[in-house]
Structure 1
Amino acid sequence: MNIEKSLLLIFIKEVILESRKQVYRMANTALLQTYWQIGKLIVEDEQQGKAKAIYGEATLKTLAAGLTVQFGKGFDYTNLTNMRKFYISFPILDALRQELSWTHYRLLCRLDTEAKRNYYLKESIVANWNSRTLQRQIKSLVFK
């Protein structure tokens, strides 16, 4: 392989890697938007115009059963509960950070205060934490 062919190979690899990143970002964005919308629909149905929700666990279980049959285990009771928490914790769709994955957001939703969520969200982006690092940082109680 001569030098020109080596450069060609490098350039082609860069194009492939960049396109894979774009596909991942687009898929991640679509997933976050979908889960946020589902969470919103669940919360709005729970509240039915009231300030507080009056909702039975049975409703979510029934919903999960129907969705799981058609769409698979990604829509089980636990994941629907996570989607609900996602919407409640991050009620502004346009404020979602696309740099973070669904796994990041699931971890962030478990935090008990908005201050903690915001701290770990910002640190995850600035330090480019993957979800395992985020989980480790949360467990180490970095935020006091």
Structure 2
Amino acid sequence: MKGNLSEMGALGKVLLLIFSNCIASSLEIHRADYGNYLTKFIADQLEPEYGSGFSKRQIELFRQFYRTFPIANALRSQLSWSQYKVIIRLDSQDKRDFYIMETMKSTPIGTLNL
């Protein structure tokens, strides 16, 4: 998936809605198993039609993205999906905020010391 998040369009919004509903409704005991099943199921449905941008790994990243940024209004449309993939792997909100601000200053994410 190339481009900005604003370019994800309706399909991206649908995926965010799917994960918000799934996370809210899954049971504590079976959450990990259900989450793994669901990501594989969604990838099996979308990848043949839309390509490798919807592989199981990409769907897992979408899921992690939703958990990290559950409020869509808090997103920065200037950041690319590649930049968000780096940012969601950071282990604290302070680190994420710092790297988002650095990226917003037009510093290429590849030059930041993660």
Q: TM-score range by the shorter chain?
A: 0.7 to 0.9
Find the counterpart in structure 1 of residue 67 from structure 2. Answer: 88
Deviation readout 1:38-81 (Å, 9 max, x if unpaired):
14422421331768971421221122111111111110111001
1:30-45 matched pairs, under 5 angstroms: 30-31=7-8, 34-35=11-12, 37-45=14-22
How big is the shift at 1:115?
Answer: 1.0
Q: Residue 91 of structure 1: SS of its match in structure 2?
A: coil
Identity across matched positions, percent: 26
Task: Point out where structure 2 has 5 or more consecutive residues left out of the alignment.
Answer: none
CA change 1:116–1:51 in 2 (3 A) is farther
CA change 1:43–1:69 in 2 (3 A) is same
CA change 1:41–1:64 in 2 (3 A) is same
Structure number with the higher helix fraction is 1
CA change 1:103–1:32 in 2 (3 A) is farther
Amino acid at match of 1:132: G
Q: Which has the higher contact order (CA 8 A, sep 6+)?
A: 2
Q: Residue 31 of structure 2: SS of its match in structure 1?
A: coil
TM-score for the superposition, normalised by structure 2: 0.79
TM-score for the superposition, normalised by structure 1: 0.64
Counterpart selection for 2:85 from 92, 106, 109: 106
Deviates more, 1:55-64 or 1:107-116: 55-64
User: Once superposed, what is the RMSD of the aligned Cα atoms?
Assistant: 2.7
Q: Which runs of 4+ in 1 moved over 4 A?
A: 49-53
